[in-house]
Structure 1
Amino acid sequence: MQSKMCLLRLVLGLTLVALVKSNLWCYSGCGHTPEHWEALDESHCGGQKQSPIDIVTSVVTIDPNLGNFTFVNFSSQSAIKNITNNGHSVQCDIEVDMVEVSGGGLDGEYSVLQFHFHWDVANNSGSEHTLDGHRYPMEMHIVTAKKGILPNETLNHNDGLAVLGFFIDATEDGNISAPWETFTSYLKDIPEEGLSVKVDNITIDDLIGNVDRTKFYRYMGSLTTPYCNQAVVWTIFQEPIKVHKDLLLRFSTDNGIAPNYRPIQPLNGRNITASPATPPLHLWCYEDHCDYTPSHWSELSGSHCGDESQSPIDISTDTVVENEALNSFNFTNFDNKHAIKSITNTGHTVQCVLEDGLVEVSGGGLSHVYSTLQFHFHWGTESAHSVGSEHTVDQKQYPMEMHIVSKRKDLTLDEALKTPDGLAVLGFLIEAPSSTKSSSSTAPAETTSPTSSSASNAEAWKALTHHLPDIKDVESEVEVTDEISIDDLLGNVNRESYFRYSGSLTTPSCNEAVVWTIFKESVKVDQVLMAMFPENTGYHNIFRPTQPLHSRKIFTTAAAAGLVPVWVYLLLPCLCTLFC
């Protein structure tokens, strides 16, 4: 067994311990930086199941099979052999066949080989994986190999390796962890590649600390260094290890290793699951119950929320520009009564997920065909006088707003988020049938208030909202079996008359990838039904404030009649009598 484990180390060392000749690849400053790793001989770095990824908590599903782990000898003071500068990271080797991991949904027992780190502490942004776009200063990877597989076959199995990933967050309080003080003191002894020193009296448990190891995410992926073999069962623990910033800075100052994390890779349809103990994690929110309220969204890692073309906006009808190219839309399967697959509580809103590849949008001045993915809502409170729409028209804010989100058919979602017209969102303002008042406007209500012709199908809204009591818990989801179409919800609202502008998503990371269409007429929904959204979810005022227009133009359909106050039409017969 001893000789087998030694051979296993030799095989895995070529990929895990960065012993692929250090001058062949790098994170910066050489010919093979991360975007060129796939050009390396024998590389898998261009594969479809690459790591790291962004864990988007709104799409994570709970897996009841992800139970508790069993950690063998994580508390042993003789398990960590040494700490080494391998040129790409700081790595600690583990005594052969001494430390093991099982459980946690893993299929078998795994032997711990080593652990290492990725960081960019100076910029507070060095973890490889991200949570809802948030990047931590560091990440620790505990690398294990599946027992019972021949050493030379380990990298040929999609679960040949299991890596435990722990985020590391920097603190600035007065509490300095003694184990981390001791551990980081060794860094000054390995300032150059190839140097290694023995480690005494530190356990893996000491470094992990009191992180709750029952809360974790799971997905299938790859090594994050060449050759990026797709042989890894990834476990990413939700809670970060807390370490004083002064200690973490030693990783940057006591060796010659620059920031050493691989950029986020496309998910490519892979599922991300979570253990039952994992609570929903939302780094951002609308109201004052988290660190990142709308005014601070721009501070999130990877955020575009402070850029120049943000949404929502106020649509000033005095400055819109008519555009003849804004013609009629083509709505494919908007009338399909089985297009809505499920309704879910995302932790921020109520979202209706559509059947894959069924619903489409084209025309309407769009340059591409778009596949409709989902629609969701923004609202205020239960009050009959509440406002909650994101867009406003002449400063008027409506009670609710519905967003129908579509993606260009020729792009993946990852590509669409990086393309100025990658997404098309149809925005429908919602108000009660009797609503005529402008909630926050000095403009006359008649200027922007829709006519009564836009009444929706009340039975469809009743059918949709009766699911809301079943999704009170965050991440809860129910199948929609009722016969409800998108057309039923929209009713006979005029879809020929609308505004158009270029903007962004209205939630982090606020990617500026959206062609926005805001319809002039509002959808009419009974106030009691609208109130069911905040009543059942507990979410209030879930709308982003309007953003500066900057130099953008807002276009409107050429049929400008929608901009003329209703009273003008009522006076026309009188005017003709007087002057004709």
Structure 2
Amino acid sequence: MLWFVASVLLLCVPAESANAIGWCYHIGECNDTTWPINFAPHCNGTRQSPIDINSSNVTINENLTDFTFTNYNNTGVLTKIENTGRTVKVSFASGVGISGGGLGESYDSLQFHLHWGNGTTEAGSEHTLNGVQYPMELHIVNAKSSYNGDTTLAVQDSSGLAALGFLIKVEPGTTDSPASWKDLTSYLSNITEMGQSATITHQISLDSLLAGVNRSSYYRYNGSLTTPSCQEAVVWTVFKEPIQISENLLKLFSTSVHVGNTSTPLMVNVWRAVQPVALPVQATKSGSSSIKATGLSLCLAALCLMYRFVVSALFLCALVPNADLADDSGWCYHLPSCGYTTWPTNNAPYCNGTRQSPININTDAVTFNSNLTAFVLNNYNATNVLTKIENTNRTIKVTIGSGVTISGGGLGESYDSLQFHLHWGNRTSVLGSEHTRNGVRYPMELHIVNSKSSFNGDTSMAVKDPAGLAALGFFIEAMPGTATQSPASWATLTSYLANITLGGQSVAITHPISLNSLLPGVDFSEYYRYNGSLTTPACNEAVVWTVFKSTIKVSSDVIDRFSTMLRIGDSSSELMVNVYRGLQTPLPVQRSFNSSSTAVSSISSLVLVVLLLVLGNS
């Protein structure tokens, strides 16, 4: 997000003037949802940032050439680091600049700052990529060199500012890496309070902080500052490849600095949500040199492509119980007085237990368990087992008829499938999955609720058994491209939402929809496993959780229906948005798949095929 400082040539409002104009992130009266009203006309404009970048909808622009970075390799240009009360900002010395990259002229680099969520448990990037939000984002702020530092002129020019955005994710299996980030974050202990700053004495270059990023591969659009006054004066560049840093360094931002003095809240969730108006995005033609598809070059290309695929794939609920499992005693999602932060106190003893769900799944920390076999899904292909869909005031629940069961999957016995429900944020722009993976939250999550068959449907017994319930969790992400009403099963399912817009309404499902048709592309042999809890009150610790590695892909228009059609009560009540519980204390997680052997086997097989093709043509 961009921070405007007209007085010091930096896009960051100073602490004292920021308080005067009254915008913030952490209080409902002044957070980003209020800016379009409180800071009109710019904050309710037509090219507001940040946005979601749908990579399948971008157009290629061959004029987006490589950048020239002046003094980005200089280890003496980072001069000061500051706690502004809303972010951490690093100032630059003069002589740092950018040119090329499809920009009309050269720009002076002024500062960088960061946006983050809460450690790795709550994502905090401003831009999202295909609906996925990253743990952090770094913004380098630049102003046209022709303005000679007059930022009052720059913000009046539709391309007066240029922002370089870098998504940041966790580097698996490392600590204190890269060294440049370790040096940078070492200053955070000196700026714990708003207004504090420190001189940077370590030798840190901008290049060293951007290590591993291919800066010839990026997205481009025209947008705005992402804090008030939200001037639409920014040429945005968002790089395709993320920066990777160790988890312990990333966590320092949300555990070290406060929004005021040390008695004020820690600085967490300092990001503006994705804006509702989609903007045209262009992209560079290619981020790498072409590879000749002959002989050994073809083999190397295959190795590279398969490696990238495997790494990407590997990167790749509140459990709302049956009606007789739910505790309806005054809990909610939408009010501070009854939201999930109050449940450990208001809904003790279980909601403040030691194995609470949901959690972040850190794939680098999970262990392989060969006993986690493939599931056997009985009657998941039947098209007449989904009987009723209901607006429960807190989610959408679909009741499953008798005779639908699961077994295998490392479970001790068979379980009866009772119902499924969903969790979501606000359209595809505000993410709402309950579980996260490597700090990444998805737009939605589907949970299938199952109870031990031996209990014969007695869920009061199931919640007293630490393995009485089994929940199947599926991440849902936006389908790439321009597809609508897809998959057909999801279009059919959501067609019923018009009949249950109000809390308590329900309707019989008459269309033939199978559970399998709602789970297309999911590999039921690859999943994560841990022992947790219900994720709504009473939060009983009675759940064996299975979160599948594969995601369900649904078109954006279908995802958006949940947060635009349903209300939590009558027609005058609020829309049902952000219906998910925040992440709980990490728990031990196992996985069913041996990632290293899968990757080696896949790469070896592909290379063998390519070698045979090469030899056959020689």
Q: Provide TM-score, normalisation by structure 2.
A: 0.47
Larger radius of gyration: 1
TM-score normalised by the chain length of structure 1:
0.50
